[in-house]
Structure 1
Amino acid sequence: MDVAHAPHAPHGTRTVRQVVHLPRPEEDVWPALAARHGLRSWLAAVDVLEPRLGGAVALRWLDDPAGAAVTGTVTAWDVERVVEYTFTGGAGRVRFHLEPGEHGDRAATVLRLTHTFDGPEALREDQEAAWRVRFDRLSAVLL
């Protein structure tokens, strides 16, 4: 997994970017990012998910079982390619972008994550580590 660090942004805005190479085609990866059962298998319990642009979303992260649900809106929806969830209350925006594997390999997928949120630098470091663990779970689920 390649990890790119975003430069420090003003006003406490932080960005985590990660690139994950998965040995599965995009159509196998998409449900893990954009369907209740898929998200539940590696990332979050889904209280609400309206799978469309402008739809409501409410997730409870699996790695924070005592945490409250984060709620928001689906702010990008390009089926089998891009899904973005923008949350209220400082949880920020999580965007997943899928593309074919290296050299156009349709049997593999490159997943690009961008997670933007407000908070201190230490929170960015924590989120970066959390996404690495989450993507390890996703890889295990997809095998």
Structure 2
Amino acid sequence: MTGSIEQGTSQTHGNTHILHFLVRLPRPMAAVWPYLATADGLASWCTPVDSLEPRLGGTVGLGELGSGRITAWDVDRVAEYTGDRGRVRFHLERDGEDGAALRFTHEFQGEAETEQRWRSRFERLIKRLEQA
């Protein structure tokens, strides 16, 4: 199985922007989870990580994505980081025998992020998983 970015949408409500992606990943959920929920994993494809306490309410510092708290944490399925630059949510689901589907949401104010920037990040994630 190869990975793919199936869909990406962008919505604007006033000054609030919401990006959604469905990303099909070439590895099972257990292999993908560390890339979404550990400092080393996130730093390998997304952004440098200053801190990450892997638990509900834990602190998180995600470089250019900002600092805040973990506001949803369901091990191997959901990691949500909410802070001074918005909310980032990773939701994993099974996708066939050997794959995972990532439902991603980023809600933020202003013009900090773009759909293309996240597409580039997800391309890096897919490449890392295909090489793993």
Aligned CA-pair RMSD: 1.6
* Contact 2:52 2:59 (8 Å CA) reproduced: yes
Percent sequence identity over aligned pairs:
47
Question: Residue 130 of structure 1 is aligned with which of 117, 121, 132?
Answer: 117
- State yes or no: 1:110 paired with 2:97: no
Question: Residue 84 of structure 1 is aligned with which of 63, 80, 87?
Answer: 80
Structure 1, unaligned runs of 5 or more: 62-68
Structure 2, unaligned runs of 5 or more: none
- Quick check: which has more Rg, 1 or 2? 1
- Between the aligned partners of 2:49 and 2:12, the Cα distance in structure 1 is 32
Runs of 4+ residues over 4 Å off in structure 1: none
Q: Counterpart of 2:62?
A: 59
TM-score, normalisation: structure 1: 0.82
TM-score, normalisation: structure 2: 0.89
Q: Secondary structure at 2:76's aligned position in 1?
A: coil
Q: Deviations over 1:49-97 (max 9, x none)?
A: 0000000001214xxxxxxx72100000000000000011xx1000000
